[in-house]
Amino acid sequence: MIPFNKPYLTGKEGHYIYQAVLSGKISGDGIFTKKCHDFFEKKYGFNKCLLTTSCTDALEMAALLIDIQPGDEVIMPSYTFVSTSNAFVLRGAKIVFCDSRTDHPGIDEDAIEALITDKTKAIVPVHYAGVACDMDKIMDLAAKYKLYVVEDAAQAIDSYYTGRDGVKRPLGSIGHLAAFSFHETKNIMAGEGGMLVINDQKFADRAEIIREKGTNRSKFFRGEVDKYGWVDMGSSFLPSDIIAAFLYAQIENIDEIQRRRKEIWHAYSRLLQPLQDKGIIGLPVIPDFASNNGHMFYITLKDIDARTALIADLKANNIYAVFHYLSLHKSPFYEAKHDGRVLPETDRYTDCILRLPMFYELTEDNIKSISEVIINYFV
Ligand SMILES: *Cc1c(COP(=O)(O)O)cnc(C)c1O
């Protein structure tokens, strides 16, 4: 049986967890949390990083930080995970769903401006499959209409955007805020885990407070105040140092993990190219301004029936391929709140995307046999 995902252990996770436990400080912001923050800030030039218990939490922190009020509008793709919108709905926002690009499931950057009203407060681009949205276009709109940009970079660790100026920037370093996930299905993981990146320094102090139940405990631990108390609203968004210890073992191996995942991606792409050439399936498109971080390999089928049939055939061959993201604008929770616009590309991706097994330990033989099953199915 070839599973869809298999979390990869680098081997040091248990060792670092043991060290964290022995250190005697296993609540949040211990030695491993600090090591993780330092790593991400140095490697990607992020202004400030804060580990959270999930990307969902990091997005909820972002909604609090930009002070979303009931009635504020937030523009985001409909083709995304529920957490992207839930975080803002919890603050009373109205979600204005935007369609996807025709060549890629990311938000259609050219369709955003028509959705902006005087109530719009933020744009939340999702770097689907770790492939960048066209951030110059989005940041230009944000500047023109004075909006915040929160990058949902859940899948986008170690991926880049090359702007008009030719400079290559890490995803998560461009918007005012960005949220990453370290869920076990992501490239670098801690079981459950996430990170908020604060690029706009004006949010830095308040982010620490919101993450620590609305208290200034972080300042207290640094000796900057002599007692701590309740200074703002907040919640418990910080993970135990045990999670950070696990994560540190992963990030020490990030270059090797990324190398292998990209290799797997290219092997699939090469083997399945003939099916695309015959017009039978679509392969992922990486726009010129984006890099590929090997997060996901998906194919697109001609319709939902073709996808259902192929999933069954793969399953009969002991291969688990999955689809995801049902258009959020048509979800049981949001359909009645949606303004009725049709989003044809979103619906097409909802019906047609199939994700193939993708994990560090997938072997060359696995990739070959998966590709062969797909090719034999069609020819
Ligand atoms: C995984 C994912 C999330 C949620 O991440 P968690 O860490 O599980 O909360 C949010 N948005 C996108 C696009 C994701 O892929």
**Where are the domains positioned within the chain?**
13-251, 254-378
CATH architecture of the domain with residue range 254-378: Alpha-Beta Complex (3.90)
81 CA from centroid of ligand 1 (Å): 6
Q: Which two tokens stand for residue 80?
A: 């995304």
pTM confidence score: 0.98
Q: Which atom of ligand 1 sits closest to the CA of residue 192?
A: 7
Q: At what angle do helices 55-65 and 82-89 cross, to 10 degrees?
A: 30
23 CA from centroid of ligand 1 (Å): 31
Q: Which atom of ligand 1 sits closest to the CA of residue 182?
A: 7
Predicted confidence pLDDT, tens digits, the chain (379 residues): 999 999 999 999 999 999 999 999 999 999 999 999 999 999 999 999 999 999 999 999 999 999 999 999 999 999 999 999 999 999 999 999 999 999 999 999 999 999 999 999 999 999 999 999 999 999 999 999 999 999 999 999 999 999 999 999 999 999 999 999 999 999 999 999 999 999 999 999 999 999 999 999 999 989 999 999 999 999 999 999 999 999 999 999 999 999 999 999 999 999 999 999 999 999 999 999 999 999 999 999 999 999 999 999 999 999 999 999 999 999 999 999 999 999 999 999 999 999 999 999 999 999 999 999 999 999 8
Mutate which of 50, 128, 155 for ligand 1? The one with the most ligand atoms within 8 Å of its CB, which is 155
Q: Which atom of ligand 1 sits closest to the CA of residue 183?
A: 7
Burial of 213 (0-12, 13-18, 19+ CB in 10 A): middle
Distance of CA 132 to the CA centre of its chain: 11
- Tell me which residues have their CB closer than 6 angstroms to ligand 1: 54-56, 80-81, 83-84, 126, 152, 154-155, 181, 183, 194
CATH of domain 13-251: 3.40.640.10
227 CA from centroid of ligand 1 (Å): 36
Q: Which atom of ligand 1 sits closest to the CA of residue 58?
A: 9
